[in-house]
Structures are given as structure tokens and as C-alpha cells.
Amino acid sequence: MHEVFESRAEAGRQLADRLSAYEGQPGTLVLALPRGGVPVAFEVAMALGQPLDVFTARKIGVPGHEELALGAVATGDVLVLNEQIVAAFHVTPAERDRRVRLAESEVRDAERRFRGDRPAVDVHGSTAIVVDDGIATGATMRAAVMALRAQGARRVVVASPVAAMDSEAELARVADELVVVRTPRQFIAVGAWYRDFTQLEDAEVRALLEQAAARLPEESRHALHRHAHSGGPAV
């Protein structure tokens, strides 16, 4: 019988132990992939004394080869395109734009539901610790890493309580650091590694974000938020 986590909160505390080098380190942010990554990241942020925010990312798949990413859209109106992939698979401008618009719509909808009117934190020059409750294919996490690079994060750390072996190897190549508590030989699914894998409601996500924000000094909260801008870079 494989050893499972009692809950996302317990998994987050174990993950925080592996990330203790970042406790109190200036310029560090904990970013959760919603929804499941939020309670994990909340425990990490609390243990490390670092700010918490959600970071919503969507992979843009290649038509007929959805596992391949022609780009990604993420928090902060960031669009990252891999022009080599677009050209190699002869993706038409119309199809590319249609897929980009769909991904952008999904990200904006998620942002409204999870963050409301609060601005996103500014990741430029920061060490961004990106947290999820588990990494199966790794597609969303890779999209997040791509987007954080485009936003100017100085260092990107991928962190998760559990990950599939193949995905862990791939992410190790794109992240500056990869921190995983368990890498089972037989992964099955993320939910198989939790006794309590209850799906979170939007209100629960918002409550955790608000609770984390309330723990920060007022001046720190203001310093974190980006100045309003029209959009992010496309590369």
C-alpha cells in the first residue's frame, strides 16, 4: 500500500519542510495553480513567511497534437508563443488566434473568480515558487513556467507533493529548481495520493488567499502589486 497524504494541507506542510531554504528570503513569492494547488501553497506560504497568490496558466495545444504546446497564456495578460512549433505544424494564423482567444478567456474568467478586483502580484525579478497539489502530465506547470519567464521572474521553483516520474524529469529541465516530496513508480492519478481529495469551491480559494494576505504587513501588500499595464510580452 502506497503512503498517501491525509489532505492537501498536510501535503503542503511536508512540502514546506523541503523548501525551508526560502523562509524569510526577500523577493520570494508563493504562487498556487488553482484550485487544488491553493491549500498546498497556503501551508507553504505560511511556513516560509512569504506572500501567496494564484497563478492561472493555460497551455495552447497544437491542433491534432494537443499534448504539444504552441504557447501559453497566464495571469497578467501574458502570451508566450513558440513560433517554431507554430511553423513546424503549419498552424494557420486564424486557428492560432482562435486558440489564443479561448485560452485568454479561460484565464480571465478564472482570475475574476479567484482574485476578484485584487491586482496580481508583480513577479518581475522575484523567486517564484509555483505550487500544485500534484503533477500528472505537467502541461499546466510547464505553461506556468513559460509565462513566469516571460514576466521576468529571476528564478522559478516548481514544487509539488507528488509527481509522475516522466513529468518530473521534463520539468527539471525547464525549472531552476524542482522540489517534490514523492515520485512514485506507479503514479495512477493525483487523487490516488490523498485520503481527502475533496474538490475546492471558489469561495474556499478566495478565503485562503484573503487569509494569507491579511498576514502580510500593509506596506508589503502594496509593494507586491504590479502597476497597471496593457499587457505582457509575447515571445
Give the model confidence (pLDDT) of 12-64 as tens digits. 999 999 999 999 999 999 999 999 999 999 999 999 999 999 999 888 999 99
User: Using an 8 Å Cβ cutoff, are 127 and 50 in contact?
Assistant: no
Give the Cα separation of 98 and 100 in Å (integer): 5
Cα dihedral across residues 105, 108, 112, 114: positive or negative: positive
Residue 223 has a pLDDT of 43
Averaged confidence pLDDT in the chain: 88
52-73 pLDDT, tens per residue? 999 998 889 999 988 788 988 8
Instruction: Say whether 109 sits in a helix, a strand or coil.
Output: helix
Q: Are strands 28-32 and 127-131 parallel, antiparallel or unpaired?
A: parallel
187-222 pLDDT, tens per residue? 989 999 999 999 999 999 999 999 998 887 654 444
Domains of the chain: 8-56+121-220 (3.40.50.2020)
Give the Cα separation of 232 and 104 in Å (integer): 12
Residue 231 has a pLDDT of 39
149-160 pLDDT, tens per residue? 999 999 999 999
Please check the confidence at residue 130 and state whether its pLDDT lies above 80: yes
